[in-house]
Structure 1
Amino acid sequence: MDISVVIPLLNEEESLPELTTWINKVMVENGFSYEILFVDDGSTDKSWAVIEELKTEYPAVKAIKFRRNYGKSAALNVAFAAAHGEVIITMDADLQDSPDEIPELYRRIREEKYDIVSGWKKKRYDPITKTIPTKLFNAATRKMSGIQLNDFNCGLKAYRKDVIKTIEVYGEMHRYIPVIAKWAGFHKIGEQVVEHRARKYGVTKFGFSRFINGFLDLLSIFFVGKFAKRPMHFFGSLGVLSFFLGMVAAIWLIAVKLYHISAHIPYKRDITDQPLFYIALVAIIVGSQLFLTGFVAELVSRNAPERNHYLIEKEMH
């Protein structure tokens, strides 16, 4: 199979027929063998009923329905496991991504040998309250990851099959799949300017909280990518530094006290009367705890067995 089109959705009943017809038209015109894999992320409207109707008309349609809303990352992770295409295209269900971009994305993966080609919505139809924070997050992600993409959060992306079968997407890490892929060893990441269309049906499903979550996810993915397999390098280094500074301060206080005693010089303040003593004590305790945390982290697998366990209500093949 040439292409798997992965489409997470939440309450998009109006757009699904038009989107499916459009994708089918593009695939037939270009002679691609394909599948459309919908993941219904706990919709409360008639999205699943619409998908069932589309299945009768388009055999390429496959679908997974979550019992409740888990989020876009969960939907992508399950879809990636189920996809069979040599190239996987992800896109949103709201018709803001154009299926006409698919042939060029596919060509760049197959002919130019990219691992990932990420869409760049250079001209956007979003309000300024969304575009400015997005620009800031993109700049921060470029700086921290070293990946020179202008639009990390664009839903329209193309992946080589090996990439999606290797990486794991959890939490709300879908924004940083290129970063996850890079840490997994896939370094050929390209970008393509794509059309951004104004929303035709419904309303956006993302609120202000996604910006806070985005920043926290960025810190998380940076830490996991850097130190997941060597947490002692992070916690141990901080622990040793804190312990060392605390010990130096404590030894200095003791040395000063002993010097005054041996030289018979009056020294009115006890060691425990000085704020530096308590700062040194806290630094030693914190340093020991961080060092022990590093040891524990080395023993704990970062892949919890239940982290990507989702309740699937229905599935179509």
Structure 2
Amino acid sequence: MPVAPEGRTTLSVVVPMYDEEAALPALVARLRPALDGAGVSYEVVAVDDGSADRTAELLEKERTGWPELRVVRLRSNAGHQAALTAGLHAAVGGYVASIDADLQDPPEKIPEMLELARAEGLDIVYGVRSDRSTDTGFKRRTAGAYYWLMRRLVGKRVTAQAGDFRLLSRVAVEALKALPTDQQQVYRLLVPWLGFPSGQVTYQREERVAGSSKYSLGKMVRLAVESVTTFSAAPLRLATWLGVASFVLCLLMVVWSIGVHLAGSTVPGWTSLFVAVLFLGSVQLICVGLLGEYVGRIYTAVQRRPTYFVASDSAREDGVPEAGP
């Protein structure tokens, strides 16, 4: 069973935040009692992802009366997954939970996750949404399509309806920290890929407590593209099969055109030629685009630019030791 080393904080809770000024008071009002009642030593690592509102200011105010609150500020908006990476790397707990600030995932479930991990010796406990009735129909359908696609491309290790609300043991966190930070990570696929013993805690997804979702349609599409191209070579195989299919179709068209010519039934026209050129051109563009997605990721990896930069960490200012083996 994974346990926290002697003297280390038992539980860290990582909360990525971007412009969560309106949601922050409600988050503190629910998260702090839940953790205080867990009966373990803990820290809350709030990662301010370059917010443009008063999120950082309000966090500093909350910190004066909540000694377990730790504020990590990024220099600019790096994105949700990058902010989550910063929080995981900063956390010192024997177990590390992650949760969003919008309270759609209930913080009261975190002690239950910890209890399950300790009782059954699990390294990962997923928060699984058993009821998403508070989401819009469009959100439910797109989320369902995303998990359906990921489970078929990456494998059934991907837990359906499990987002970034989870608990990790220190062993699992160290495994994630060993991965390069100059590549964008998709943790809802990466964590199952580790293959550690895991369990589930189900809950009903709640409505966002305040503000608006930071995951626009464009960001959701980018997440899907990042997920597919990072964890599967299926698009490249798709490009290959599209090429094979177009070759077979063109071969059939050649046979057909020769037959029509020998029968003397040819009719001058551009329709067939136009359709053939359009089809072949579209297949080629699709294949080039898929190749470009992978080449772009190779280019990004070669540059080795960190996905985020930490501007400040209240724990360092207070002289608290950093996380380490």
**TM-score, shorter chain, exceeding 0.5:** yes
Cα distance change on mapping 1:133 and 1:116 into 2, 3 Å: farther
Quote the residue 2:139 is aligned against.
Answer: 134
Secondary structure in structure 2 of the residue aligned to 1:5:
strand
The two structures, once aligned, show a CA RMSD in angstroms of 4.3
| Conserved 8 A contact 2:239-2:290 | yes
In the TM superposition, what is the alpha-carbon distance from 1:37 to its structure 2 partner? 0.7
CA distance in 2, matches of 1:235, 1:220: 17
| Conserved 8 A contact 2:181-2:307 | no
CA distance in 2, matches of 1:65, 1:295: 36
Q: Which moved more, 1:163-172 or 1:82-91?
A: 163-172
| Conserved 8 A contact 2:127-2:203 | no
Quote the residue 1:10 is aligned against.
Answer: 18
Within-5 A mapping of 1:1-317: 1-13=9-21, 16=24, 19-20=27-28, 23=31, 26-27=34-35, 29-94=37-102, 97-112=105-120, 113=122, 115-120=124-129, 122=131, 126=134, 130-146=135-151, 151-153=161-163, 156-161=165-170, 162=172, 164-165=176-177, 177-182=187-192, 184-186=193-195, 190-194=199-203, 203-206=210-213, 210-211=216-217, 213-214=219-220, 217-218=223-224, 220-227=226-233, 232-254=236-258, 256-257=260-261, 259=262, 269=267, 273=269, 275-284=271-280, 301-302=297-298, 304-305=300-301, 309-317=307-315
Aligned length: 296
| Conserved 8 A contact 2:14-2:46 | yes
CA distance in 1, matches of 2:132, 2:274: 57
Cα distance change on mapping 1:42 and 1:232 into 2, 3 Å: closer
CA distance in 1, matches of 2:211, 2:252: 56
CA distance in 1, matches of 2:166, 2:213: 19
Cα distance change on mapping 1:119 and 1:110 into 2, 3 Å: same
CA distance in 2, matches of 1:14, 1:68: 20
In the TM superposition, what is the alpha-carbon distance from 1:105 to its structure 2 partner? 0.7
| Conserved 8 A contact 1:239-1:289 | no
Cα distance change on mapping 1:115 and 1:25 into 2, 3 Å: same
In the TM superposition, what is the alpha-carbon distance from 1:102 to its structure 2 partner? 1.8
Q: Which amino acid aligns with 1:206?
A: S
Q: Which amino acid aligns with 2:141?
A: L
Higher RCO (C-alpha under 8 Å, 6+ residues apart): 2
In the TM superposition, what is the alpha-carbon distance from 1:284 to its structure 2 partner? 4.9
Quote the residue 1:263 is aligned against.
Answer: none
Cα distance change on mapping 1:254 and 1:226 into 2, 3 Å: same
Name structure 1 gaps, 5 residues minimum: 261-265
Secondary structure in structure 2 of the residue aligned to 1:88:
strand
CA distance in 2, matches of 1:42, 1:298: 28
Cα distance change on mapping 1:140 and 1:69 into 2, 3 Å: same
CA distance in 2, matches of 1:204, 1:172: 26
- The CA deviation string for residues 203-231 of structure 1, in whole angstroms up to 9 with x for no partner, is 32217x7356435633552454332xx65
Cα distance change on mapping 1:187 and 1:239 into 2, 3 Å: farther
In the TM superposition, what is the alpha-carbon distance from 1:5 to its structure 2 partner? 0.3
CA distance in 1, matches of 2:273, 2:205: 61
Q: Which has the larger radius of gyration?
A: 1
